[in-house]
Amino acid sequence: MLVNGNFENGTLIGWQILCSSNNCGGTGSSIVNTPCHTGSFCYEGTCAGNYDYLRQSFSITIGHIYTLSFWVYTDGHSDQAAYVNIS
């Protein structure tokens, strides 16, 4: 359903990247090969001091059950958090 949902094509194709900082604009984010939970590639958000946003729209069918899963890694700073919004 998602385009490039696991980033395994090594690009950000299919994703809209936003950053809450005017000086980031999403250009500081990239696809890297470590520390990925599984697979060869993963997303690294580098919008220092601000939030990175990954967004992708997709269609669903009423009455069907869907599973969305993800893995988040932080470098251990106490002020880091992850938020998920499904709408």
Where do we find the tokens 């893995």? Answer: 71
| CB burial string 1-28: b at 16+ within 10 A, e below | eeebeebeeeebeebebebeeeebebeb
The pTM assigned to this predicted structure is 0.73
Tell me the one-letter amino acid at 41.
F
Q: Are 7 and 39 contacting, i.e. CB atoms less than 8 angstroms apart?
A: yes
In the chain, domain spans? 1-75
Where do we find the tokens 């890297």? Answer: 32
pLDDT of the chain, 87 residues: tens digit per residue: 899 999 999 998 999 887 765 555 445 678 889 888 989 999 887 766 667 788 899 999 999 999 988 888 877 766 777 788 888
